[in-house]
Amino acid sequence: MTVSPEASYRLRYGSEPTLDPPAEWTDILAQQLDHRSVRSYRPEPVSDATLSALIAAAQSAPTSGNLQLWSVVAVRDDERRARLAHLAGDQQFIVEAPLFLVWLADLARARQVTTGVDSATAEGADFVEAAVLSFVDVALAAQNASLAAESLGLGTVFVGAIRNRPLDVAAELDLPPNVFPVFGLTIGHPDRVAESAVKPRLPQQAVLHHERYALEPQTAHVETYEELLNTFYAAAGLPDSWAKRVARRFGTVAGLNGREHLRDALHTQGFQLR
């Protein structure tokens, strides 16, 4: 990576960032700031050796108390990918990408290990806390895998839409009780013809607080961002605004696309959320 910090900040925060880029800069920062979602792939496969490297990166992420409350299913079979693409909102790039990783919150292994110790029960795993532990663990792991893939020249995109119909996904992957599909991740060689852009984020001042949280000062930063992102969307031929996109997701129950049943689905899979 030879991108300068100035250029990276400009892409990430828009044309006139109000931040000074840091004096110190690393290849890792450059790779992270260059992240973009890739939704168009060439057909070349991802090898087992590469997959192993990505999972080693994932397992090297921090995990609360070394509990390692996650697993992942690597799906390469064309027909299974097609079925999962259908369950996840008919998103074509899941069919196109040669590798689809389904990341799982996994309390089954911990329950088995716990109940094998002095005939203990695993009552602690019934609580919301266990779900939080496993969802955070799997996200930390997957982010490492995604960045590792990018460092190898591959493209990725996270797929939250597997939560639209999580029990159907669970059936497709033979998930036992206490294992839940949290998100997918497509991985493959990016089709450079349809290269995607770095998407600008909220001004850093909107998300970074010092000593105490403050909501009120965010309003101005959000307005700045709304203008910035409207310009970005317009250049991409999209009519939307950021506020409208947020509102479409949270304004009505229908915007959840089936995920309003997530609590019931978690219960069904054994996550009791006490």
Q: How far is the CB of 118 from a second copy (least distance, A)?
A: 7
Q: How far is the CB of 14 from a second copy (least distance, A)?
A: 12
Q: Is residue 151 close enough to count as binding a second copy by CB under 8 A?
A: yes
Q: Is residue 182 close enough to count as binding a second copy by CB under 8 A?
A: yes
Residues 61-100 that bind a second copy (CB under 8 A): 61-68, 70-77, 80
Q: How far is the CB of 191 from a second copy (least distance, A)?
A: 19
Residues 156-175 that bind a second copy (CB under 8 A): 157-158, 160, 163, 173-175
Q: Are 122 and 114 in contact (CB under 8 A)?
A: yes
Q: Which of 87, 94, 104, 162 binds a second copy (CB under 8 A)?
A: 104
Q: Which amino acid is at 62?
A: P
Nearer to a second copy, 194 or 207 (CB): 207
Helix, coil or strand: residue 106: strand
Q: How far is the CB of 176 from a second copy (least distance, A)?
A: 5
Q: Which residue has the tokens 């996904």?
A: 169
Residues 240-259 that bind a second copy (CB under 8 A): 242-247, 249-253, 255-256, 259
Number of residues that bind a second copy (CB under 8 A): 133
Q: How far is the CB of 23 from a second copy (least distance, A)?
A: 6
Contacts of 88 (CB under 8 A, 6+ apart): 94, 159, 161, 162, 164, 165, 169, 184
CA distances (Å), origin 269, targets 7, 107, 263: 46, 10, 10
CA 86/CA 94 separation, integer angstroms: 9
Residues 17-56 that bind a second copy (CB under 8 A): 19-29, 31-35, 37, 49-53, 55-56
Q: Which amino acid is at 83?
A: R
Residue range at the interface with a second copy (CB under 8 A); choices 87-95, 107-115, 189-197:
107-115
Helix, coil or strand: residue 45: coil
Q: How far is the CB of 197 from a second copy (least distance, A)?
A: 12
Contacts of 273 (CB under 8 A, 6+ apart): 127, 128, 131, 263, 266, 267
Encoding tokens for residue 122? 């695993």
